Amino acid sequence: MQDEHERRMRYAIREAELARDAGETPVGCVIMHEGRIIGKGHNLRETLQDPTAHAEIIAITAAASALGSWRLENTRLYVTLEPCPMCAGAIILARIPEVYFGALDPKAGCAGSLMNLLADGRFNHRPAVFPGILADECGGLLTTFFRDIRMQGRN
């Protein structure tokens, strides 16, 4: 089963690489339903000048369109970085039952690092969360990206 999750996370990593290649923070996401990708996305905040254009939001929107429903029951979300508060909220509202992520985000992670919105019993939906899938590879994309930015003198 671990191999299956790693294979699916590699799809999310490909999305993150697309973000990186576009000069975006390299975060990618895919949503699976019945063994196939129904939504995918990567960060587009700089490209769209939209603070909500996170990989998860783009993937959730695509998945909802594919299913013709905002309820993304019986799906699995794979994302290379721990979801932020906005994305964690969207995951809860979309009723996504399983979340798999790669690298922890100690500055904005809301699936266990900074706080855990996804496990908060006050919400009407609590997805199962599986952290650390290909964490080194996912984290390495981010580390390299930000190192390169610092070396270029950009902030």
> Among the options 4, 24, 46, 56, which is catalytic?
56
Sheet with 98-103, edge to edge strand ranges:
36-42, 28-33, 75-81, 98-103, 128-130
Residue found under tokens 């809860």: 92
Give the span between the Cα atoms of 117 and 136, in whole angstroms: 24
56 an active-site residue?
yes
Beta strands in the chain (DSSP E): 28-33, 36-42, 75-81, 98-103, 128-130
Q: What phi and psi, each to the nearest 5 degrees, are found at residue 49?
A: 50, 50
Amino acid at residue number 2:
Q
> SS3 for 103?
strand
Active site residues: 56
